[in-house]
A and B are shown apart, each in its own frame.
Chain A
Amino acid sequence: MREKISILLISIAIIGFQLAIVNVLSYSQWHHFAYLAVSIAMLGFGSSGVIIAIWRNFFLSRILFVLPILFLTTGLSMILAPLVINSDWLRFDTLLLFSSFNQLLKLFGTSIILFIPFVTGALAIGLFFTAYNHQINKLYAYNLGGSALGGVLMIWLSNELFPMHLASIFGLAAVLGAPLIRFNKSTIVLTTLTLVIGLLTLCIQPSIPFTSQYKPLSKALLIPDTEVSKQTPLSKGTFELITSNSIRQANGLSLNYIGKVPLVDIAFLNAQPYFAFEKEKSDSSFYQSTVYALPYLLNSNGKTSLHIQPSSTFFISLANVFGYTPNVIEPIEFIADSLTNYPLLYGGVNIKQSYPRQILHKSSKEKWDIISFPTAGNTGNSGLNALMEDYLFTTNTALNSFNLLEDGGFLVLSSVMDNPARSNLKLISLATETLRTLQLEPHQHMLSIRTWNTLLVMIKRSPLNLDEISNTREFCKTLGFDLVHPYDSSQHNILMDENFQHISNLLIADSYNNCITNYPFNLRAPSDNSPFFSQFVKLSHFKYYINVFGFDSFTYLELGYFIVWVSFIICLIISLVAIIIPSLVKYRSEDKAYWIYLYFSSIGLAYMMLEVVFIQKSILTLNNPIMASSIVISSLLCFSAVGSYLSSIIKLSRIPQILFVIGLYIILYSILSDNIINHISSYDLGIRILCVVVTISPLAFFMGMVFPIGMRMITKRSPNQIPIAWGVNGFFSVLAAPLATITAVEYGFYQVLAFSAILYMACIPLVYKRSRLL
Chain B
Amino acid sequence: MQKLCLLIPALLICFQGLGQEDPFAKRRQAMVRTQISARGIKHKETLWAMRKVPRHEFVPAAYRASAYDDRPLPIGYGQTISQPYIVAYMTELANPSPGMKALEIGAGSGYQAAILAEIVDSVYTIEIVPQLGQSASLVLKQLNYRNVEVRVGDGYHGWPEKGPFDIIVVTAAADHIPPPLIAQLKDGGTMIIPVGSPFQVQQLILVKKKRGSITTRSLLPVRFVPFTRSTN
Contacts and interface: CB of A to CB of B under 8 A. Distances in A.
A255 B214 contact: yes
Given A95-B198, A502-B227, A520-B227, A496 B219 contact: yes
Nearest to A93: B74
B2 interface: no
Contact of B215 (A214, A493, A506, A518): A493
A774 interface: no
B226 A421 contact: yes
Interface string B220-232: 1011111111011
Given A255-B182, A506-B232, A249 B176 contact: yes
A467 interface: no
Contacts of A212: 78
Contact of A261 (B62, B179, B205, B225): B179
A427 B220 CA distance: 22
Contacts of B15: none
Interface string A452-493: 110000000000000000000000000010000000000011
Contacts of B175: 249-251, 453
A158 B198 CA distance: 32
A548 B225 CA distance: 8
B207 interface: yes
B200 A452 contact: no
B44 interface: no
Interface string A577-593: 00000000000000000
Nearest to B153: A224
B128 A224 contact: yes
A503 B128 CA distance: 40
Contact of B71 (A223, A494, A518, A552): A552
B130 A224 contact: yes
B214 A480 contact: yes
Determine chain A's interface SS by DSSP, over half rule: loop
Interface in A488-510: 492-497, 499, 502-503, 506
B218 A495 contact: yes
B98 to A, nearest CB: 29
Given A258-B183, A419-B196, A514-B232, A222 B214 contact: no
B218 A259 contact: no
A553 interface: yes
A213 B195 CA distance: 18
B48 interface: no
Interface in A194-232: 212-215, 218-219, 222-224
Contacts of B205: 452-453
Interface string A240-267: 0000001011111101111111000000
Interface string B164-202: 000000000001111100110000000000011111110
Nearest to B175: A251
A557 interface: yes
Given A255-B182, A453-B175, A553-B200, 6 more contacts: A99-B66, A256-B214, A419-B220, A420-B226, A480-B213, A496-B217
Interface of A: 95-96, 98-100, 212-215, 218-219, 222-224, 246, 248-253, 255-261, 380-381, 417, 419-421, 452-453, 480, 492-497, 499, 502-503, 506, 511, 514-515, 518-521, 548-549, 552-553, 556-557
10 contacts: A215-B78, A223-B128, A223-B129, A260-B179, A381-B200, A496-B217, A503-B226, A511-B232, A549-B222, A552-B71
